[in-house]
Structure 1
Amino acid sequence: MLKQRFAGRAAPEGVAVLLERAQREVDPRDPRSLMALAAPLHALAGDRTVLQRCIHHGLEHWRDGPTHFYSSQSCHVASAGPFVIRINLWPLLPADPRRRAILADVLSYFDYHDHNFSFITANYAGPGYETDLYSYDATSMTGYPGEPVALTYLGRHTLDDATVLLYEGGKDVHRQLPPSQPSASINLMMTPADAGLTNQFYFDVERGVIRDYVGSWSHKRVDALAFARCWHDRQTPALLQQILECHPCSRTRIAAGQALVAIAGPDALGAGSRVRMLRDPLARALWDRAAPAPAAMPTIYSTTGREAT
């Protein structure tokens, strides 16, 4: 994590100019080069019309489908190449315990997590949030839940009007704390080309271990493959075989292998396929730690056997 503080706020150059500068001045191989744009992002955070224009666009074009808001919390302002400008809303937690727990989970309030991309962020509205920060070295771990991780505490920091923070992908771990008043932050994100193949993690900082995976593209692929266990036809085993042998994502290969075994039995996974599926340490760790599949998976739809409910 890097931090830069500003005594005053310069005049904003605009969204398009910031993205042009990012493409010209930031080295995608060096997340810390994002800090070269800390000053113009801090200046853009002073332009309250950015979010208002996004809201107005959604109100005016409500018949056209998706708006700038791709969730109730996040507003996609604009993007160019690997760079994205995004505004995040940080509301207060409701009093109702059930709704409070749901919203806290959605916003990652209180949950320590990392990112598989890097970004700089400035406070956009309200007093800003506090965050507790740790660091770790993603290259020193395999990446499975329960794995011990060396975490170094970096203190508590406040994203106030004078501050720009850099969060480095695969290095910084933090938890959001709810702000004292509704707030918003504006981010300049740099998404690597392989972001869809990498994982984000939840951490248990007291035990010093990976707690679980954050819902990301990898997580969605794994969830989708689980459907094949109970919704399959004659083509499904061959498709799973191809994925478990060839996919670059370790978690995806393992999920395909587990689905294949659940559908067609252990003998469907040949020795050569098994070697190709388990070609890296993460895949081997996930396969070894996986719970055994039930003896008979309930089938919802199949053209190869009797349908069951």
Structure 2
Amino acid sequence: MPRIIETATQHRAELGELVEALETGRFDARDEDCFASFGDGLKALANNRDFLADLIVAELKQRCRDQSAQNVYGPQVVILHQSRDFFIRANFWPSEDDRLLQENGPEAFFYHVPHDHNFSFLTAGYMGPGYWSDYYEYEYDSFAGAIGDEVDLQFVERSRLEQGKIMLYRAHRDVHAQLPADELSVSLNIMERAPHLSFRDQYRFDATGKTVAAHLTRSAIEPLLALCAQLGGGDGRDLVQSYAAHHPSDRIQFSAITALASSQASLEDRLAVFERGSRDANPFIARMAARQCAAVETGRPWIQRSVH
């Protein structure tokens, strides 16, 4: 489970103090101990009971101009600061009795979704009793990462992020399924930020079956590959084929293979692309392509009827 950071600091910090400490303190999210060392700073910000309300009031006065420009998340998140290597945010966690959850459903808050992270982050309980999580651990290098792959998820415990509790979630190791807080709660996060994160895989798991259920990472490259294969002519297809053969990310490689398959004129040609992929030496590519072959064969009667 996430590493618990013990800190008893009573210091009450402003947001700017934490930002300055991160920007001048040689922050390195790839170094676990370095990241953990900023637990005191996050706890000091969490000791400030006024800063978040003041920031929200200021945002509303300017009609959420900064949030509209910076926030790529939903209304559950308020972006507090963004820098090159990190950003700071607040997350809101409604209870099952809150109208917000009843109207939007648990999916809007990522409740009941076992998942890991392709980035590390520090988190602090700021307000309320805290959201619950079922915590697991796994070995990232123990499986290829294809959908349906078995994963040795080791259940650790169910606990909640109580006010003042500081934890470090470790990329590609800690897994949790978040559960509704007993009352509306707020957490503060220091998030790793880096261009390469979109090439690192994040997974949703089936915790009961202990398998990979879905890939959660998305990048701008993947939809562009599909467009390039369909609309880019010969040069476009050559480029997509290059991605399919050589891109260092297995997931993006397979997205390129899928784009090539989708651009084929006939069902048989589409199937042939996936069949070639199923013989690839890369186990991720081979398993994902074999899965697509099976899906095409299963849907063949419907596809053929819809064409005719």
| TM score, norm. by length of structure 1 | 0.79
The CA deviation at 1:181 is 1.3
Contact 1:19–1:83 (CA<8 Å) still a contact in 2? no
| Map of 1:92 onto structure 2 | 95
The letter of the residue matching 1:264 is Q
The structure-2 alpha-carbon separation of the partners of 1:288 and 1:268, relative to structure 1 and needing over 3 Å to count, comes to: closer
The CA deviation at 1:257 is 1.7
The structure-2 alpha-carbon separation of the partners of 1:187 and 1:51, relative to structure 1 and needing over 3 Å to count, comes to: farther
| Map of 1:171 onto structure 2 | 173
The structure-2 alpha-carbon separation of the partners of 1:57 and 1:132, relative to structure 1 and needing over 3 Å to count, comes to: same
| Map of 2:55 onto structure 1 | 53
Contact 1:32–1:166 (CA<8 Å) still a contact in 2? no
Give a deviation string over 1:11-36, Cα, whole Å, max 9, x none.
21x33332343342443332343211
Contact 2:120–2:192 (CA<8 Å) still a contact in 1? yes
| Map of 1:41 onto structure 2 | 42
The structure-2 alpha-carbon separation of the partners of 1:93 and 1:213, relative to structure 1 and needing over 3 Å to count, comes to: farther
| Map of 1:303 onto structure 2 | none
Contact 1:54–1:68 (CA<8 Å) still a contact in 2? no
Query: Which sections of structure 2, spanning at least 5 residues, go unmatched?
Result: none
Deviates more, 1:60-69 or 1:112-121: 60-69
| Map of 1:213 onto structure 2 | 215
The letter of the residue matching 2:248 is P
| Map of 1:259 onto structure 2 | 259
The CA deviation at 1:170 is 0.2
Deviates more, 1:50-59 or 1:177-186: 50-59
Which residues of 2 match residues 154-233 of structure 1 at below 5 A?
154-214=156-216, 216-218=217-219, 221-222=221-222, 225-226=225-226, 232=231
Distance (whole Å) between structure 1 residues aligned to residue 65 and residue 209 of structure 2: 49
Distance (whole Å) between structure 2 residues aligned to residue 86 and residue 63 of structure 1: 16
The letter of the residue matching 2:259 is A
The CA deviation at 1:74 is 1.1
The structure-2 alpha-carbon separation of the partners of 1:288 and 1:54, relative to structure 1 and needing over 3 Å to count, comes to: same
The letter of the residue matching 2:43 is H
Q: Which of 132, 135, 149 is residue 134 of structure 2 equivalent to?
A: 132
Matched positions, count: 291
Query: Which sections of structure 1, spanning at least 5 residues, go unmatched?
Result: 299-307
Give a deviation string over 1:256-280, Cα, whole Å, max 9, x none.
2222233235779999xx78x9563
Contact 2:59–2:67 (CA<8 Å) still a contact in 1? no
Any idea what SS the aligned residue of 1:154 has?
strand
The letter of the residue matching 1:250 is D
Contact 1:7–1:162 (CA<8 Å) still a contact in 2? no
Distance (whole Å) between structure 2 residues aligned to residue 176 and residue 35 of structure 1: 22
Distance (whole Å) between structure 1 residues aligned to residue 30 and residue 200 of structure 2: 16
Contact 1:84–1:190 (CA<8 Å) still a contact in 2? yes
| Map of 1:76 onto structure 2 | 79
The structure-2 alpha-carbon separation of the partners of 1:264 and 1:81, relative to structure 1 and needing over 3 Å to count, comes to: same
Deviates more, 1:135-144 or 1:245-254: 245-254
Distance (whole Å) between structure 1 residues aligned to residue 58 and residue 89 of structure 2: 16
Contact 1:149–1:210 (CA<8 Å) still a contact in 2? yes
Distance (whole Å) between structure 2 residues aligned to residue 258 and residue 55 of structure 1: 47
| Map of 1:286 onto structure 2 | 288
| Map of 1:305 onto structure 2 | none
Give a deviation string over 1:52-111, Cα, whole Å, max 9, x none.
325523531556882454321111211223211111111234688xx7495311222111
| Map of 1:15 onto structure 2 | 15
Distance (whole Å) between structure 2 residues aligned to residue 129 and residue 5 of structure 1: 19
The letter of the residue matching 2:169 is Y
Distance (whole Å) between structure 1 residues aligned to residue 57 and residue 247 of structure 2: 39
Contact 2:116–2:171 (CA<8 Å) still a contact in 1? yes
**RMSD value, Cα:** 3.5
Give a deviation string over 1:135-169, Cα, whole Å, max 9, x none.
11112221111111112222122211231011111
- Higher share of residues assigned helix: 2
Distance (whole Å) between structure 2 residues aligned to residue 232 and residue 59 of structure 1: 45
The CA deviation at 1:192 is 4.4
Distance (whole Å) between structure 2 residues aligned to residue 64 and residue 183 of structure 1: 23
